[in-house]
Structure 1
Amino acid sequence: MPEMIVNLDAPRQSAIRIVRTNLTDTAVSGLETFGRVVRLGLDAVTGLVTDTVRMRFQWREMLQTCWFLIAVTALPAVLMAVPFGVIVSVQVGNLIKNLGADALLGAASGLGVIKQGAPIATGLLLGGAGAAAIAADLGARTIREEIDALRVMGVDPIHRLVVPRMVAMVIVAPLLNVLIMFAGVIAGYIVAVLSQGVTPGSYWATFGSFTVVADIGVSLAKSALFGFLVVIVACQRGMEARGGPRGVADGVNAAVVLSVVLIVLVNLVISQLVAMFLPVRIA
């Protein structure tokens, strides 16, 4: 009887060991990937400084990437900002109306769009369109061994490919953020005036009273940080693509997913810090 019990427990113990090993390998692999992303980010920032000092920065590559990012994200940004501003205006407006504070709708819409909606929408757009395009481009170059050819010729791919894309993403992100803020606030204003019965003067008065310059600065800084994270993750996944076209597709998918997760987590941390050190106040 004891031998039978041992034999019955052996498969369960073996399964537990397999699960534990898989979890350990996954955790170690995740930490290694995180370390490579951090190292690539540091190398890219260092490369930007050295390229600028030595007058070797790839301006043409940067401008082409900027134009491409603007072309693929400008219209979707407006299409995303308009419904977001409308939703904030309608949902918050109904609550405020029940409390008898209709005049505060401008403040609620402004704070919602500027502090949260605009930077998150910017990060998601860049993470979806920008990260996918960059990861696909660098992944295809890696599969075709163009990255290895650059190294053989003595050209650092980080300086040649990563740095200009990083600068382009950091430049485009605040511009896209401003576009989303403008479209979202205007959409919220139109809905508030036409359907909520708010007077234009009270809307803009409360908007200007509660939305200060620091809020806009934080929003722009968040969008630039999101753009930096997105482009570093996309470049890392693209330059490590393996296994032919399937590997490129996997790299693109991983770049988009990791970018979205990073944006959500970083936004949560920044929102908590801003709430602690820059609380909402009347201007």
Structure 2
Amino acid sequence: MSSMPESGTDEPTVRAVLRRNFADTVLAGLATFGRALRIGSQSVRIGASDAIRLRFEMHETLEQAWFLIKVTAVPSILMAIPFGVILSTQVGNIVSQLGANSMIGAAGGLGVIKQGAPMAAGILLGGAGAAAIAADLGARTVREEVDAMRVMGVDPIQRLVVPRIAAMMLVAPLLNLLIIVVGIAAGYGVAVAALDVTPGSYWDSFGAFTTSFDVWVSLVKSLLFGFLVVVIACQRGLEAKGGPRGVADGVNAAVVMSVAAITVLNTVVTQVITMFVPMKTA
């Protein structure tokens, strides 16, 4: 008889704890989003001001850009080749049953340009690039270098964040173009060598359905993904605390948040473009 009241009192307690944890998680997520948005807006404002006054950290930007290229160029090629091969193979198996092998070029080109290249570039930058940036800034933060910069009157956003954002914005479209070229070349090789598609029909269908607008959309998406990735990485790095464990947690959070944010943003951008800009033949 005494167990029933205890059970009745436990259920509201459990619900209250779950409700409080859920509310705390939502509020913490909104606070993190607000801090990241503040860092991004400050970086854009400071970077534009430094560029106008000819005080931009160009040397640091080029060093960061070269580092990003070194850690992402080869993996992007290795990712683009199987992506183009798989896309051509899967599409070829479907359209061959319909007797439309010549459409492999259109499907493969649109798939690589509009979805594959920007997503692959964003994931690579969110993995290798975001991890490196978060680790670097996190190590500076736990060693109190960032606090020392503030004491000396040096703005960490201007000195550390802005060059990394500029480097990411420079590398992202270049990486996107590299993945487009390699992916389309790999798909073309499979279509011609394994699916008995003539080179002329492949490029005819590719040129009939792929327009310059698709390439521009792909480049803009890669820029958005790169900006999102670097802002998240910088925010997690500058907020690292607790020694090496805190730096590792910041790196892990930067990678996970970057990939998740890229996936959500790609879905939103794709739906908006599909609604307002229907596909047209070239």
Query: Do they fold alike, i.e. is TM over 0.5?
Result: yes
Q: Deviations over 1:95-126 (max 9, x none)?
A: 01101111111000000000000000000000
Aligned to 1:187: 186
Q: How does 1:1-283 map onto structure 2 within 5 Å? A: 5-283=4-282
User: 13-22 vs 76-85, which deviates more?
Assistant: 13-22
* Residue identity in the other structure for 2:276: F
Once the two structures are TM-superposed, the CA of residue 278 in structure 1 deviates from its matched residue by 2.0
Identity of aligned residues (%): 60
Once the two structures are TM-superposed, the CA of residue 15 in structure 1 deviates from its matched residue by 1.5
Q: Deviations over 1:256-276 (max 9, x none)?
A: 000000100000001011111
* Residue identity in the other structure for 1:217: W
What value does the CA root-mean-square deviation take over the aligned residues?
A: 0.9
Partner secondary structure for residue 270 of structure 2: helix
Gaps of 5+ in 1: none
CA distance in 2, matches of 1:165, 1:142: 16
Partner secondary structure for residue 207 of structure 1: helix
Once the two structures are TM-superposed, the CA of residue 4 in structure 1 deviates from its matched residue by 5.3
Compute the TM-score of the two structures, normalised by the length of structure 2.
0.98
* Residue identity in the other structure for 2:97: N
CA distance in 1, matches of 2:212, 2:142: 47
Where has structure 1 moved over 2 Å in runs of 4 or more?
3-8
Partner secondary structure for residue 56 of structure 1: coil
Gaps of 5+ in 2: none
* Cα pair distance change 1:8/1:277, threshold 3 Å: closer
